């Protein structure tokens, strides 16, 4: 069984080498001690979520929320030469968190919440802040569960114009669209740089959105013969891309 993963601050991790002791406290320490009930001698992986990590062994446990771990080996997860950002239209209910969770598990590098014209759900005011926090928490917990050292960035909510600007800077911009002329599996992929992939809402993209994204250089592509829900299309598309880029080799 793989060692569990816990988050520690970058500055704390950066200062520790083999033989040094790292402190795990706060919410992470509570989860390690009171929920996972880790004991002296067990191995754990500590990371800052930014690609830096350490394989460690529990040296001591204090109270209900403090753990000390000795560093056995420093590890790292380098940034991928070809980064994948998924622009996710806001789904209904908790399906947004599900989308972020599964996309994190397959290895997406960044997620952008998008307020599309036909989104039933809208983020405004306090609700926007709480919803964004839940998406980020989903990415963090899924990153730990997937044993990633580099967690995806969950950006602030973007408008259609902001998404268009993001697409214009990408090496490849893709819009998932059921009327896309070519399957994503046959789209030419760059070897390096960035791919930005747009997942529309349950109600579909408007003609204006498709035109705006096309003007930014993004082309429509379909995943396959069936139409996926917005909360599952992103993970399916990411899997299709990663099988062709060497990320899953």
33 and 117 inside one domain: no
Given 76, 108, 133, the domain boundary residue is: 76
Per-residue pLDDT of 155-211, as tens digits, reads 999 999 999 999 999 999 999 988 777 899 999 999 999 999 999 999 899 999 999
168 and 228 inside one domain: yes
Torsion over CA: 7, 9, 14, 15 (sign):
negative
60 and 127 inside one domain: no
- Mean pLDDT rounded to a whole number for the chain: 94
What's the domain count of the chain? 2
Per-residue pLDDT of 3-16, as tens digits, reads 999 999 999 999 89
**H or E element in which residue 13 lies:** helix 10-14
**CA quadruple 5, 6, 12, 14: dihedral, nearest 10:** 20
**pLDDT(117) > 90:** yes
Instruction: Give the CATH number, domain containing residue 30.
Output: 2.40.240.20
For residue 199, the Cα-to-chain-centroid distance in whole angstroms is 15
Residue 246: its pLDDT value, please?
83
180 and 62 inside one domain: no
Instruction: Give the CATH number, domain containing residue 235.
Output: 3.40.1280.10
């Amino acid at each position: 069984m793989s060692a569990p993963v816990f988050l520690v601050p970058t500055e704390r991790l950066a200062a520790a080498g083999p033989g040094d002791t790292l402190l795990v406290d706060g919410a992470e320490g509570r989860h390690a001690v009171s929920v996972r009930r880790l004991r002296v001698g067990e191995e754990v992986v500590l990371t800052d979520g930014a690609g830096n990590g350490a394989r460690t062994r529990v040296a001591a446990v204090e109270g209900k929320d403090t753990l000390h771990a000795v560093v056995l080996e420093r590890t790292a997860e380098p940034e991928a030469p070809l980064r994948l950002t998924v622009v996710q239209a806001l789904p209904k209910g908790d399906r947004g968190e599900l989308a972020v969770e599964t996309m994190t598990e397959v290895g997406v590098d960044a997620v952008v919440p998008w307020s599309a014209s036909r989104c039933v759900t809208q983020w405004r005011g306090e609700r926007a802040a709480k919803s964004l926090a839940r998406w980020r928490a989903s990415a963090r917990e899924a990153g730990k569960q997937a044993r990633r050292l580099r967690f995806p960035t969950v950006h602030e909510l973007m408008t259609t114009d902001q998404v268009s600007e993001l697409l214009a800077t990408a090496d490849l911009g893709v819009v998932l669209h059921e009327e896309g002329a070519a399957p994503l599996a046959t789209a030419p992929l760059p070897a390096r740089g960035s791919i930005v992939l747009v997942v529309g809402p349950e109600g579909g993209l408007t003609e204006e959105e498709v035109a705006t994204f096309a003007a930014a250089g993004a082309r429509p592509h379909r995943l396959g013969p069936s139409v996926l829900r917005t909360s599952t299309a992103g993970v399916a598309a990411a899997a299709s891309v990663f099988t062709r880029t060497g990320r899953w080799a």
